[in-house]
């Protein structure tokens, strides 16, 4: 059987880039790795362009083990975009705090990217698991970067142990589903379920799968690792972890549940609904008392995962398109917020919310970017997050879940409270020291682009909604 290799050009490019970066990094002297980082960025931008032109491509490879479709390509764009931003924002941070490891940082990010983009295209449980592990292992290394940083090592160990556990649970779930369906391919499982048989073993398998994926997207009650790892990991890694790894996990979650398991949604939908509501409520409430801004963003990320899950509950084109829109917006908002944290800590600032006191005076630019990013996360217009939430609410209300809209909207108001606490520190308080913060050019450019995109998509979301709607049709 002829294999259409043109469909996996992006994956091949990323794999080639990873190896290339690894080799070049050995040849370049330790103090001149910055060029390498920008080379990686350009390489990834190339991949992004290829992906953009491949958005309409559709097909399967290797007997259905690998699926290329608009949905996958959309998620890949999201992932590659996050990696580009993480490297752009992280270069100087890594140079300063993890001196001498910039090359390694770059190629591990690319490896993680490879894992993530393969994950969202997985058409078979084997591919799925391999890709998931490639992503997870790369992330474990990235989290533990800087072996002299005690916190990072702690975070890495925690992430390693809990990832191993969750992978085990997921794997167990997959084998149980395999046991029932006698196939590992997603299409096969769909056909099996379409026959209408429901073996208890299958139900158990689905529950295990939910908890396995729940860990990756940090849904309550599988979120416990999130704050500790986010806090301990180097901030650029946290940023990447919070958007790309979550995005990839959402990609595969949507694919498995919408593609393979729609036949018995009455079975798993209640579980998802309970998890979603718990995630939104707990994430938002626990974020309130957080004093550390990275922990606060971790819990806010937990809550945001709940909002994206609403798209799955809606189980419609509108729902998926809203979730895709929101996931993409979430990348920009979160990257914006973490970008400010990176720039701030480079200037010697701490990670406590109160360290941000009077940021408007020290750097009006950083304060404005942080404010815009947080308000977008809170869903305040004219920023993009508002429209994302609006669509999600509309999508689930269409399915008649009015009570979930009430809960989600109410919690969204709660989130405004803790996001505004940061705004309060930045704008109302006087700074501890007056020295202005100098923001380096790459960070400035990235943050400016992020903010403008957030603002633009908030005022005129049509380009992205049209794209997301088109992509969402993959499933229906």
Residues of this chain that bind another protein (CB under 8 A): 321, 360, 364, 375, 380-382, 386-387, 390-391, 393-394, 397-398, 402, 405-406, 409-410, 412-413, 416-417, 420, 423-424, 427-428, 460-462, 465-466, 469
Nearer to another protein, 80 or 423 (CB): 423
Q: How far is the CB of 259 from another protein (least distance, A)?
A: 23
Q: Under a CB-based contact definition with an 8 Å cutoff, are residues 21 and 110 in contact? A: yes
- Cα 69 to chain centroid distance, Å, stands at 20
For residue 289, how many other CB atoms are within 10 A of its CB? 10
Q: How far is the CB of 185 from another protein (least distance, A)?
A: 33
Nearer to another protein, 160 or 397 (CB): 397
Q: Under a CB-based contact definition with an 8 Å cutoff, are residues 123 and 186 in contact? A: yes
Give the contacts of 33 (CB within 8 A, at least 6 positions apart). Answer: 25, 95, 102, 103, 106
**Helix H segments across 255-401?**
265-287, 293-314, 317-346, 359-362, 364-378, 384-398
231: nearest Cα among 370, 94, 352? 352
Q: How far is the CB of 416 from another protein (least distance, A)?
A: 6
Strands 66-68 and 59-61: antiparallel
Give the side-chain half-sphere CA count within 13 A for 98.
Answer: 26
Q: How far is the CB of 308 from another protein (least distance, A)?
A: 18
Q: How far is the CB of 386 from another protein (least distance, A)?
A: 7
C-alpha 160/C-alpha 247 separation (Å) is 20
Q: How far is the CB of 454 from another protein (least distance, A)?
A: 14
Q: How far is the CB of 58 from another protein (least distance, A)?
A: 22
Question: Quick check: helix, strand or coil at residue 185?
Answer: strand
Q: How far is the CB of 379 from another protein (least distance, A)?
A: 9
Nearer to another protein, 100 or 364 (CB): 364
Nearer to another protein, 249 or 421 (CB): 421
Question: Quick check: helix, strand or coil at residue 223?
Answer: coil
Give the contacts of 246 (CB within 8 A, at least 6 positions apart). Answer: 216, 217, 218, 301, 305
407-433 b/e (C-beta count within 10 Å ≥ 16 → b): bbeebbebbbebbbbbbebbbeeebee
Nearer to another protein, 83 or 321 (CB): 321
Token pair listed for 312: 């799955």
E strand segments, 193-262: none
Q: For the chain, what is the radius of gyration of the CA atoms?
A: 21
Q: Under a CB-based contact definition with an 8 Å cutoff, are residues 95 and 145 in contact? A: no
Nearer to another protein, 185 or 376 (CB): 376
Q: How far is the CB of 203 from another protein (least distance, A)?
A: 33
Nearer to another protein, 110 or 369 (CB): 369
Q: How far is the CB of 368 from another protein (least distance, A)?
A: 10
Nearer to another protein, 88 or 378 (CB): 378
Q: How far is the CB of 406 from another protein (least distance, A)?
A: 7
Nearer to another protein, 270 or 410 (CB): 410
Q: How far is the CB of 292 from another protein (least distance, A)?
A: 21
Give the side-chain half-sphere CA count within 13 A for 22.
Answer: 11
Nearer to another protein, 37 or 467 (CB): 467
Token pair listed for 61: 């490879």
Nearer to another protein, 268 or 390 (CB): 390
C-alpha 47/C-alpha 77 separation (Å) is 9
| Greatest C-alpha distance within the chain | 69
429: nearest Cα among 360, 334, 328? 360
For residue 94, how many other CB atoms are within 10 A of its CB? 27
Nearer to another protein, 134 or 423 (CB): 423
**Residue 68 is inside which H or E element, if any?**
strand 66-68
């Amino acid at each position: 059987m002829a294999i259409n290799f043109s469909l996996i050009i992006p994956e091949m490019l990323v794999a080639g880039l990873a190896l290339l970066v690894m080799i070049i990094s050995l040849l370049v002297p330790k103090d001149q790795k910055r060029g390498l980082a920008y080379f990686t960025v350009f390489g990834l931008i190339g991949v992004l362009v290829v992906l953009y032109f491949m958005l309409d491509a559709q097909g399967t490879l290797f007997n259905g083990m690998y699926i290329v479709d608009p949905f996958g390509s959309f998620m890949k764009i999201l992932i590659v975009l996050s990696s580009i931003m993480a490297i752009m924002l992280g270069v100087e941070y890594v140079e300063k705090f993890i001196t001498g490891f910039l090359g390694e940082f770059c190629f591990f990010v690319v490896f993680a990217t490879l894992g993530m983009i393969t994950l969202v295209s997985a058409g078979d449980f084997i591919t799925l698991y391999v890709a998931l592990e490639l992503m997870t292992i790369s992330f474990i290394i990235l989290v533990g970067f800087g072996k002299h940083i005690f916190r990072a090592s702690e975070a890495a160990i925690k992430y390693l142990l809990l990832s191993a556990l969750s992978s085990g649970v997921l794997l167990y779930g997959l084998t149980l589903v395999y046991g029932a369906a006698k196939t590992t391919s997603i299409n096969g499982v769909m056909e099996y379920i379409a026959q209408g048989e429901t073996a208890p073993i299958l139900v158990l398998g689905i529950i295990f799968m939910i908890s396995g994926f729940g860990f990756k997207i940090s849904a309550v009650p599988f979120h416990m690792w999130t704050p500790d790892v986010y806090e301990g990991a180097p901030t650029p890694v946290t940023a990447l972890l919070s958007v790309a790894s979550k995005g990839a996990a959402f990609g595969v979650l949507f694919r498995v549940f919408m593609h393979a398991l729609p036949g018995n949604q009455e079975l798993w939908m209640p579980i998802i609904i309970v998890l979603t509501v718990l995630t939104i409520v707990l994430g938002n409430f626990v974020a309130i008392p957080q004093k550390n801004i990275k922990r606060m963003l971790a819990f806010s990320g937990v809550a945001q995962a709940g909002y994206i899950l609403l798209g799955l509950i809606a189980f419609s084109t509108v729902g998926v398109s809203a979730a895709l829109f929101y996931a993409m917006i979430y990348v920009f908002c979160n990257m914006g917020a973490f970008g400010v944290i990176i720039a701030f800590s480079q200037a010697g600032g701490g990670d406590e919310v109160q360290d941000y006191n009077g940021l408007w005076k020290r750097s009006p630019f950083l304060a404005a970017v942080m404010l815009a990013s947080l308000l977008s996360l809170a869903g305040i217009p004219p920023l993009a997050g508002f429209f994302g939430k609006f669509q999600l609410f509309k999508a689930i209300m269409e399915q008649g879940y009015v009570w979930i809209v009430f809960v989600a909207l109410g919690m969204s108001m709660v989130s405004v409270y803790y996001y505004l606490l940061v705004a309060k520190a930045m704008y109302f308080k006087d700074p501890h020291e007056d020295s202005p913060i100098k923001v380096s050019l790459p960070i400035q450019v990235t943050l400016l682009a992020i903010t403008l995109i957030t603002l633009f998509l908030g005022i005129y979301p049509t380009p992205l909604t049209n794209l997301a709607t088109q992509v969402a049709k993959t499933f229906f």
